[in-house]
Amino acid sequence: MTNKIEFDEYLDAKGLNCPLPILKTKVILNKMKPEKILLVEATDPHSKVDFEAYCARTNHELIEFNLIKNVYNFYIKRAMKPNKI
């Protein structure tokens, strides 16, 4: 069991398939202040690969990932100066 990470914003992307979880995440991250943390919950099995690629391309930091009862949890720290994609 991991320690709960404090987060500033939350996105429920359960039941959504690619590319919707990423698109909704992008909208929220664009509104957030740098260094704030977003928790995204998703059920799409491909979401782990999608979020890793998205964070790598944008400079947002995927600080933790876990899978609990078929729900993928992504803790993403907003970059100071995210790359636009």
HEC sequence for the chain: CCCCCCCCEEEEECCCCCCHHHHHHHHHHHHCCCCCEEEEEECCCCHHHHHHHHHHHHCCEEEEEEEECCEEEEEEECCCCCCCC
Q: How far apart are CA 52 and CA 37, in angstroms?
A: 16
Q: What is the pLDDT of residue 3?
A: 61
Q: Which residues are catalytic?
A: 18
pLDDT by position in tens, the chain (length 85): 456 799 999 999 999 998 999 999 999 999 999 999 999 999 999 999 999 999 999 999 999 999 999 999 999 999 999 998 8
- Domain 9-77 has what CATH class? alpha beta
| pTM passes above 0.85 | yes
